[in-house]
Amino acid sequence: MPHSAFTFDDLQRYAPSVAEPDDFDEFWRATLTEAAAVPVLVDVRPEPTDLRLLDSWDVTFAGFGGDPVRAWYTRPAGVREPLPALVEYAGYGRGRGLPHERLTWPVAGYAHLLMDNRGQAGQHGAGDTPDPHGAPGGPSPATWGILDPRTYHYRRLITDAVRAVEAVRALPGVEGDRVSVVGNSQGGGLALAVAGLVDDLSAVLTTAPFLCDMRRAVALTDLAPYGEIARYLAVHREAEEAVWRTLSYVDAVSFARRATAPAQFGVGQRDTVCPPRTAFAAYNHYGAANGRPVPPERQMHVYPFNGHEGGEAVHVRRQLCWLDSVLQTVRASVM
């Protein structure tokens, strides 16, 4: 059945068993422990933007392997008190761009950190963080180092994403106990990964997430990024077992199962880039294995006539309203 043939009822019931290696937790525990041995902030300097209502800083923090990762930190100008923070992750083939490109969250009153994607800029947006780690694999980020989970590009990128949360908490003007993550497509997959690795987030906002139910996704679509993995396997037929093993360490469904923070999802039901059933795999498993007696709040918005673009500005408005309500609850619980 093609993914577009799945009804909404089918999607609500879709909770596949996703392969998960026995050492999944230890793999990520060791990876993050190694990263944490390096102080997180490397450099923070003011960035002129000619925007009178916002202040921006050019931030460099230590990501995977201590590698310098760039980010923009932006917050409302003239506001002295600490603010709740949002860490945003960019989509596939994009970078952090220019500091005035993504202003929704700081204009809404948040301290906002936009993380660059190591090595990916140039396809759909600008960035300036290299990925200096070479390993056997294909020509695109989705296949860099794909033969071994230790060398895979997404081990490094997910580690960067966790370190971005640590970085924003170390920056001035941030309420460290009210930090949330947000992302679309690849950024949505990174947000889910962080949700499973950082147990004290305030909220998770993910739309059209990549990295979910990956073996199924590769079978469903020929479009990038999943299609790049299929094209790699079309040439390297002997690599299939190694590739599936590597992907099992970065599948966002496994991270979602461990998540503890409230989450809001958004999908376009006609998405052919990140098929909607794969997002529902993460949604339906969300918080199922976090060891807590009460599962976290979660909600899903489906746009039946939209593709990878999802709900666009309509959904952003829903994100703004939902996050505000969640953070009010967080504030009340700590007062």
Report the binding-site residues for substrate: 92
Catalytic residue of the set 254, 271, 285, 315: 271
Determine the distance from the C-alpha atom of residue 316 to the mean position of all C-alpha atoms in its chain, rounded to a whole number.
16
Residue 185: active-site member? yes
Distance (Å, rounded) from C-alpha 265 to C-alpha 297?
11
Residues in the chain: 335
Q: Is the peptide bond before 141 cis (omega within 30 degrees of 0)?
A: no
Asked whether 35 and 63 are in contact (CB, 8 A), the reply is: yes
Residue 56: active-site member? no
User: What is the radius of gyration, based on Cα positions, of the chain?
Assistant: 19
Question: Which residue, 88, 90, 89, 93, is CA-closest to 225?
Answer: 93
**Binding site members:** 92
Exposure string for 244-269, b = 16+ CB within 10 A, e = fewer: eebbbbbbbbbbbbbbbbbbbbbbbb
Residue in this structure with the two tokens 């809404």, named with its chain if needed = 108
Catalytic residue of the set 140, 180, 185, 248: 185
Helices (H), 50-185: 104-107, 153-170
Residue 177: active-site member? no
State the catalytic residues: 185, 271, 308
